[in-house]
Amino acid sequence: MLLGSRILWAPTNCRGAPPIFSPNNHAFPTTRLFIPSASLKRHENKEVDDYAQLKDKVENLGISCDSINPGEYTRLMCPKCKGGRLMERSLSLHISGKRNYALWRCFNFECGWAGQILAHNNTTSDGVHQLGRMNSPQVLTEESLKLEPLGDMLAAYFAKRMISKDTLKRNHVMQMAGDQVIIAFTYRWNSMLIGCKYRTLEKRFWQEKGTDKVLYGLDDVIEADEIIIVEGEIDKLSVEEAGYPNCVSVPNGAPQSITSKELLPLEEDTRFSYLWNCKEWLEKASRIVLATDDDLPGQALAEELTRRLGKERCWKVCWPKKDEFSSYKDANEVLVNLGSKALKEAIECAVPYEMQNLN
Ligand SMILES: [Zn+2]
């Protein structure tokens, strides 16, 4: 049920148009309002079939699903390491609320087995996508990375950028221990620390070595049918201030320009490896809203993303005008200068990607 069945509205006049998003709720209004009861029945049956299939696949891996409640995380015995020396229930298993996929990760330091299964996925023989240890030889923890809660200086920095304490806390934004003031944006998957990006106040960035690139805020879009993608971690936090947690940031900013060449094969498409690493979640979304920066690299990023995600389901946010000649640059600039309501409005006014230049 993709964009083809959606009602498009006049993008030039946002006011009066129906709201696209329901803030604080991952569901968006769609055209799926009147479903004939016969097809509803088929849909229900399909869900039951999917769940049975999914449970079968999980059981085949040696994970016992008896005590599982969909939508929750359950600690179980890991069939790979049997809980290590302590023989603890080290495997965290999650079956989605919609019962269409399962995720797991073993918290035993020496094991770290992780993966996911979609109920119906024919891309691999058994539908299992093993995340393995995501290239990371060590299991990351806040202690091993020497992270600590945000101090006064960075709390003041984020307050100036209109990011609330609640949002910082929910996203586990931390700082590096030591004399230097360095922000640590923690990257998590299934609540587990799998990467970290550091940023100084002078805008110097680097990423924790040996970790795979994934989207920032991944856990916030696992159940989302509609996903907002921004260009930086602070923009992700800003969009959340406007009421949309279903937002992720790319981990490595925007390219300088669009590559005119054909798309590279998966293994060589390193700059966008995060899209392939997060493919399962992105595939499920019926609508993807690109809220990249209003500059040439931002446009190049939006174009590169749509080339890989499919133009027909991509929408684009146009940032409000600053003056006659220019617009605000990104989500955080809009939040700081115009407030969260204006940011929410800008996101609501996203236009279908292919129509963005028709205004
Ligand atoms: Zn294990």
| Residues 226-265 pLDDT 10s | 999 999 999 999 999 999 999 999 999 999 988 767 887 7
Q: Tell me, in angstroms, the distance from the centre of ligand 1 to residue 111's CA.
A: 5
Q: Tell me, in angstroms, the distance from the centre of ligand 1 to residue 78's CA.
A: 5
Q: Tell me, in angstroms, the distance from the centre of ligand 1 to residue 293's CA.
A: 42
Q: Tell me, in angstroms, the distance from the centre of ligand 1 to residue 77's CA.
A: 8
Q: Is the pLDDT of residue 130 over 80?
A: no
Q: What is the pLDDT of residues 298-318, one digit of tens each?
A: 999 999 999 999 999 999 999
Q: Is the pLDDT of residue 66 over 90?
A: no
DSSP codes, 10-25: -TT--TTSPPS--TTS
Give residue 334's pLDDT: 98
Give residue 42's pLDDT: 57
Q: What is the pLDDT of residues 156-194, one digit of tens each?
A: 999 999 999 999 999 999 999 999 999 999 998 877 788
Q: Which residue has the tokens 């809220």?
A: 291
Q: Is the pLDDT of residue 221 over 50?
A: yes
Give residue 121's pLDDT: 58
Q: Tell me, in angstroms, the distance from the centre of ligand 1 to residue 133's CA.
A: 11
pLDDT-derived band at 16, boundaries 50, 70, 90: very low
Q: Tell me, in angstroms, the distance from the centre of ligand 1 to residue 110's CA.
A: 8
Q: Is 335 helix (H, G, I), strand (E, B) or coil?
A: helix
Q: Is the pLDDT of residue 103 over 70?
A: yes
Q: Tell me, in angstroms, the distance from the centre of ligand 1 to residue 122's CA.
A: 26
- Order across the sheet with 128-130: list the strands: 73-76, 91-95, 101-106, 114-118, 128-130
Helices and strands, number each (H, E), in the chain: 9, 15
Q: At what angle do helices 340-348 and 233-241 cross, to 10 degrees?
A: 100
Q: What residue spans of the chain are helical by DSSP H?
A: 37-60, 152-160, 165-170, 233-241, 273-277, 279-284, 296-309, 331-338, 340-348
Pairing verdict, β 192-200 and 205-207: antiparallel
Percent of the chain with pLDDT over 90: 47
The total of other beta-carbon atoms located within 10 Å of residue 82's CB is: 14
Q: Tell me, in angstroms, the distance from the centre of ligand 1 to residue 301's CA.
A: 38
Q: Tell me, in angstroms, the distance from the centre of ligand 1 to residue 103's CA.
A: 14
Q: Tell me, in angstroms, the distance from the centre of ligand 1 to residue 349's CA.
A: 46
Q: Tell me, in angstroms, the distance from the centre of ligand 1 to residue 188's CA.
A: 19
Q: Is the pLDDT of residue 28 over 60?
A: no
